[in-house]
Structure 1
Amino acid sequence: MKLVKTLLASSLLTVLTLSVSAKEMPPAGGTPGDFTVPATQEMTLDNGLKVTFIPYGSTPKATIRLVTNTGNIDDGEKVWLADLSFDMLRQGTDTQSAKALAEAVASMGGEIATSVGMDSSFIGMDVLGEFTPDAVDVLADMVMNASFAEADLARLKTDSQRNLAVQKSSPSGIATEAFYQSIYGNHPYGRLYPTTESLAALTVDDTKTFISSNLVPNRSHLYVSGVFDQTAVSKAVKAAFADWQAGEARAAKTVLTKPGPTLELIEREGAPQSTLRLGLATVDATHPDYTKLSVMNTLLGGAFSSRITTNIREDKGYTYSPRSAVVDRVGSAVWYEGADVTAEVTGASLVEIFKEIELLASEAPTAEELKGVQNYMAGIFVLRNSSRSAIISQLAFLELHGLDKTYLTDYVQNVHGVTPEEVSNIARKYLDSASMHLTIVGDTATVTPQLKEVKALEAYQ
């Protein structure tokens, strides 16, 4: 994916701050309440398109988002085909140019947005509520009548080649790609970047075929969230999408992961920092242990006050922005710790990371420490879901992973139900230090001698 979206999104959540110093802490607040899912109304068109209306808020705006069960998982051997294909939808239709489309949506008080993920992608827009029926017409036109002009694809490929060059020259991009390949191998989850040659070889016919095969109503869900006239919007949806032809259901792809331990040291001669990725495959969002895993991750490395961050950032100054995260895939997930550390303390940083993992696995945290993490997680969960688009994202997450709404309604309660002993048990159960995948991008002459001093890496040599 172009910007390694999942890791960047995970990293964004992990830098949200929770002060570790008591003197800097504000007065303790009350326990956050349970999250309430707004009331929704659903309908399904004859072609299989699901539609959900979500009256939400009082601001006279609406978010319209067509979410489809497709993405880079369906690239095949043509990595980034999904990205280019969705970009092509914005370049004009049989009757409107890209400029005309953008101006039409701007006149409604909004703009067009597309996003391609590994398993799920969307095209949509935010508009003033009164223009929601008109926006539905524009959206349908882009989805069903995209022009797919050669000149547009050539321009988009040029932009993508620049982006590819940036990503492939970035230590973070290099480490992330190698790390996921060590876990998923040749599966699409392990292929983040195309080659310059394969990207250049993509054709207009490739993008047309991708859209016609994957962006189909029976794999899509249209969400409308905000303040709008539901009767008028419902009528517009039925009229605009009635002729959209259903396609084939996507065949499930088996996800196989590679066992660790593995160690890959990628040369970046003279680099003043080493970029680390340490982790392994773990349980996905449908597993009974998933919430406990999330709590454990937040305490260990997933918040600014987490143990690893406090250790290697605050106490020792080895790095500025370490973070751990659980990255979701369909039928799989990955736990990882990432950091850019000063090259001379690469080994020392790994010693401390492994030490914190082993400590949590052997000793339960105090009730006080855990309570702070639980309040943080519950509060952030409620705050980050307080918008039109966030509600859509959560409902789409449920559908993608086959979860019901109790995942959302019971989230706060379930987070607070995790005990200190369960946190330690989960770390012991899922974070086996001898079975992880470690990727390091840095100066090998500086780093290699240090790795011999890291006892936890004896199994990796």
Structure 2
Amino acid sequence: MSAPTKHRSAEEIGRTALGPRPFPELGEQRAAADLDTVDTTLANGLRVIAVRRSSVPLVELRVRIPFGDPATSSTGSTHAARAELLASTVLTGTATRSRVDVDTELALVGGELDAAVDPERLSFTGNALVAGLDTVLDVLRDALTGATYPDHEVERERERLVERIRLARSQPSVIARESLQRHLYGDHPYAKEMPEADEVSSVTRDDVLALHAAAVLPRGAVLVLVGDVAPDAAVRAIENALGGWTAEGAAVTPSPLPVVRGGDVLLVHRPGAVQSQIRLAARGLVRTDERYPALQLANLVYGGFFSSRLVENIREDKGYTYHARSYPEFTPGGAALLVDADTASEATAAALLETRYELGRMALVPPSEAEVDTTRRYAIGALLTATSSQGGLASFLVNLAGLGLGVDWFLAHPGRLASVTVEQVAEVALEFFAPSAFTGVLVGDADKLTPQLRALGGVALP
């Protein structure tokens, strides 16, 4: 029997008898060349972005309709409940198609079409073989202009949604997210990402029909199509299919959110919890801000990818968490920087201390040239990888369109990242990553956590 193989550490694997093993040279990162695109607005107010990408004989379609409450800005309304039920049933029947008809027609062209909603938008995501583009567009037209929301479909989806909401609200990550949104944004409708189960139970078919008529509108909406089709031909097909989708008024964009301001972290008591969820937030920058590329790189240095300072500290070095990250979140009228980490109860205070320590180090010990260069390569590579497929590019462009941007911003962004200097990253790090700029929530068992958190300070205890 052979002797067991000795386990080697990562450091041992990375070294040779002659010294550290050199990293292989990275290949040249090539930004997308000029794309064959059309960006236009139809007579009904629908913005259309069509991009030709011929990698595979498919088309990817994304629709984004701003979906703020057309009646009120109060979270006391049932808009979130009605919106969730609308998204769940908008593709379940029209005057000419049943749910089975919709699914069958799409399947015959190798396609699919789904709907989803959040506090900011109603979204449709679809794809098909190029030969099936007209079919997908016709099914979409039928749903946008003539969804009937059959009683039995509304009843079935309402029951499913109620059960999903009740289950979700028992999950620590959902509790943490909802607590953070309330802490940051108070009673703003954007903070209500999930309706209450009893609100959904009270929604009727007539409520959903009324919301569709009032809020599913073309003016202010955008449709992105990426695929193996000439952009001009794609726009003609879209106009032929959706030109008759007309309405008075425009889709409702939610009002801007209040700016996130630093302060104490709020401890949310979850009795008996053996783990804690740390959620921190600070003010961010929108993509159109000239400092955004520098902030994007600063975020990567701090906690935005696996080799970041935060991950190296509380995951790799100390083992406080398996998962830690920081990332930007773009909100109506603004942006935020978020930090997430889950940890065992006994390590919670120490993990929060080290997370704050890395924020302070980020602000006061500027990233080195090597750190900035590594994150720059990562950022450009991640962007190009994420948009290399038709679906990835379509999803990225529809999110840009929600900010009023388009293909030109996407094409120019690798160049903006390439031109960021170490000094610019240091400047935004000092301004945006100071521990005093952050607030947030910590969800865990207060009985276990209070003594250490009281000693640590900066935490509002229940």
d(CA) in 2 for partners of 1:208 and 1:413? Answer: 47
Matches within 5 A, 1:358-373: 358-373=360-375
Partner SS state of residue 143, structure 2:
helix
Matches within 5 A, 1:187-266: 187-228=188-229, 234-249=235-250, 250=252, 253-257=255-259, 259-266=261-268
Q: Which moved more, 1:314-323 or 1:438-447?
A: 438-447
After superposition, the Cα gap between the structure-2 partners of 1:312 and 1:231, relative to the gap in structure 1 and judged at 3 Å, is closer
Aligned-CA RMSD value: 2.6
Q: Answer whether contact 1:343 1:443 (CA < 8 A) is retained.
A: yes
- Following TM superposition, by how much is the alpha carbon of 1:196 offset from its aligned partner in structure 2, in angstroms? 2.0
Give the share of equivalent positions with the same residue, in percent: 27
Partner SS state of residue 213, structure 1:
helix
After superposition, the Cα gap between the structure-2 partners of 1:231 and 1:179, relative to the gap in structure 1 and judged at 3 Å, is closer
2:295 corresponds to 1:298:
no
Q: Which amino acid aligns with 1:64?
A: L
- Following TM superposition, by how much is the alpha carbon of 1:167 offset from its aligned partner in structure 2, in angstroms? 1.9
After superposition, the Cα gap between the structure-2 partners of 1:442 and 1:227, relative to the gap in structure 1 and judged at 3 Å, is same
Q: Answer whether contact 1:52 1:223 (CA < 8 A) is retained.
A: yes
Partner of 2:280: 278
Q: Which moved more, 1:157-166 or 1:233-242?
A: 233-242
Q: How many pairs are equivalent?
A: 442
Partner SS state of residue 169, structure 1:
coil
Q: Which moved more, 1:189-198 or 1:371-380?
A: 189-198
d(CA) in 2 for partners of 1:126 and 1:210? Answer: 26
Partner of 1:11: none
Q: Which amino acid aligns with 1:295?
A: L
Partner of 2:382: 380
Report Cα offsets for 1:267-296 as digits up to 9, x if no partner: 222222111101223332222222221111
Partner of 2:438: 436
d(CA) in 1 for partners of 2:234 and 2:338? Answer: 43
2:43 corresponds to 1:34:
no
- Following TM superposition, by how much is the alpha carbon of 1:191 offset from its aligned partner in structure 2, in angstroms? 1.6
Partner SS state of residue 410, structure 1:
helix
Partner SS state of residue 48, structure 1:
coil
d(CA) in 1 for partners of 2:248 and 2:342? Answer: 45
- Following TM superposition, by how much is the alpha carbon of 1:179 offset from its aligned partner in structure 2, in angstroms? 0.7
1:344 to 346, 354, 359: 346
d(CA) in 1 for partners of 2:306 and 2:132? Answer: 42
Q: Which moved more, 1:333-342 or 1:50-59?
A: 50-59
d(CA) in 2 for partners of 1:217 and 1:40? Answer: 21
Partner SS state of residue 260, structure 1:
coil
Matches within 5 A, 1:414-425: 414-425=416-427
Structure 1 stretches lacking a partner, 5+ long: 1-18
Q: Answer whether contact 1:276 1:439 (CA < 8 A) is retained.
A: yes
Q: Which moved more, 1:263-272 or 1:442-451?
A: 263-272
Partner of 2:178: 177
- Following TM superposition, by how much is the alpha carbon of 1:257 offset from its aligned partner in structure 2, in angstroms? 3.6
- Following TM superposition, by how much is the alpha carbon of 1:87 offset from its aligned partner in structure 2, in angstroms? 2.0
Report Cα offsets for 1:24-78 as digits up to 9, x if no partner: 8851303522334521124443222233332212311112333222268988522
Partner of 1:9: none
d(CA) in 1 for partners of 2:392 and 2:116? Answer: 14
Report Cα offsets for 1:304-324 as digits up to 9, x if no partner: 111111100000011101111
Q: Which moved more, 1:165-174 or 1:375-384?
A: 165-174
Partner of 1:158: 159
Q: Which moved more, 1:411-420 or 1:250-259?
A: 250-259
After superposition, the Cα gap between the structure-2 partners of 1:102 and 1:30, relative to the gap in structure 1 and judged at 3 Å, is same
After superposition, the Cα gap between the structure-2 partners of 1:73 and 1:306, relative to the gap in structure 1 and judged at 3 Å, is farther
Partner of 1:141: 142
Partner of 2:52: 55
After superposition, the Cα gap between the structure-2 partners of 1:442 and 1:99, relative to the gap in structure 1 and judged at 3 Å, is same
Structure 2 stretches lacking a partner, 5+ long: 1-9, 16-20
After superposition, the Cα gap between the structure-2 partners of 1:380 and 1:232, relative to the gap in structure 1 and judged at 3 Å, is closer
d(CA) in 1 for partners of 2:260 and 2:354? Answer: 25
d(CA) in 2 for partners of 1:81 and 1:75? Answer: 13
Q: Which amino acid aligns with 1:334?
A: A
2:394 corresponds to 1:397:
no
- Following TM superposition, by how much is the alpha carbon of 1:340 offset from its aligned partner in structure 2, in angstroms? 0.8
Partner SS state of residue 206, structure 1:
helix
Partner SS state of residue 455, structure 2:
coil
Larger radius of gyration: 2
Q: Which amino acid aligns with 1:114?
A: A
d(CA) in 2 for partners of 1:387 and 1:66? Answer: 18
Partner of 1:325: 327
Partner of 2:64: 67
Q: Structure 1 length as normaliser, TM-score?
A: 0.88
Q: Answer whether contact 2:266 2:461 (CA < 8 A) is retained.
A: no
d(CA) in 2 for partners of 1:268 and 1:124? Answer: 37
Q: Answer whether contact 2:367 2:422 (CA < 8 A) is retained.
A: yes
d(CA) in 1 for partners of 2:230 and 2:371? Answer: 47
Partner of 1:105: 106
